[in-house]
Structure 1
Amino acid sequence: MEVSRLPSDGFPGYHLILEYHVEGPQQKPEWASFHLHGKVDQTPIDERFEMHRDVAFNFLQRIRQCLRKRGLHLHTDVLFAFHADYDPMFEDLRDQLHGMPGEPVDLDRFLRED
């Protein structure tokens, strides 16, 4: 997935690419591995992270954390303002992880993902 925005109204411009793949047995992969790279306001970004399958759908929050770690304070609604940017990725990720609606999430793991 690739998103770009020009600077405007106090928000920095950015060009980011998020690549991902799943790992584990094909019938039930356990992890999603992500690679976020590009630039935000001329600051290079190159972050890799993994998320367990039950919390992998919270990838936008993890992206925001990666950017904050570098001193960049963008909101996920600014980064991915339109569902068209991330809905296809979300659906593909759910298909690859064999995620089912209503599947339980390990709350302890979810809270540790910050």
Structure 2
Amino acid sequence: MFEPGHLHIAQPALQPDDIGYDIHIRYETAQTDAGAGMHFTLEGEINGKPVNEVFDLPKDKAYNFASEASHIAEKYGLPKDVDLHDMHGDYDAMFEDIRDKLDMKSGDAVKPEHLE
């Protein structure tokens, strides 16, 4: 479920071997080491294990929030084959909200060191 500044992703474990998760991604504009950007908080639980991590992304990398969130979720036990990106409508709305908050336009420059 998406609302500006917050995305909630949940999947209950329906079978004993399933991995359940209940994750909140909150975000706001912030000054990062590289200038304007976004500050993200990822909290909730993955398979009963609490998650509480923060990360910052500069403006030209803020579009990559889903990849960063997925890497963090994997650290807490979410298997790589579970696709948090599968909520395309909500991710699209979050992406557009981030673009709006950071006044990002198609064709904005990306720093070469951020392409790695």
Give the TM-score band, short-chain normalised: 0.7 to 0.9
Give the deviation of 1:82 after TM superposition.
2.4
Give the deviation of 1:105 after TM superposition.
1.3
Q: Match for 2:73 among 64, 67, 72? A: 67
Matched, 1:34 2:24: no
- Give the structure-2-normalised TM-score: 0.79
Give the deviation of 1:19 after TM superposition.
0.3
Matched, 1:16 2:27: no
Displacement over 6 Å in runs of 4+: none
Give the deviation of 1:87 after TM superposition.
1.3
For residue 86 of structure 2, give the secondary structure of its aligned residue in structure 1. coil
Matched letter for residue 13 of structure 1: G
Q: Aligned ranges for residues 1-114 of structure 1 at < 5 Å?
A: 1-7=7-13, 11-24=18-31, 30-75=36-81, 78-111=83-116
For residue 92 of structure 2, give the secondary structure of its aligned residue in structure 1. helix
Q: Structure 1: 5+ residue runs without aligned partners?
A: none
Give % identity.
28
Counting matched residue pairs gives: 106
Rounded Cα–Cα distance in structure 2 between residues aligned with 1:40 and 1:89:
21
Rounded Cα–Cα distance in structure 1 between residues aligned with 2:12 and 2:55:
26
Whether the aligned pair in 1 keeps the contact of 2:36 and 2:58 (CA below 8 Å) is: yes
Q: Structure 2: 5+ residue runs without aligned partners?
A: 1-6
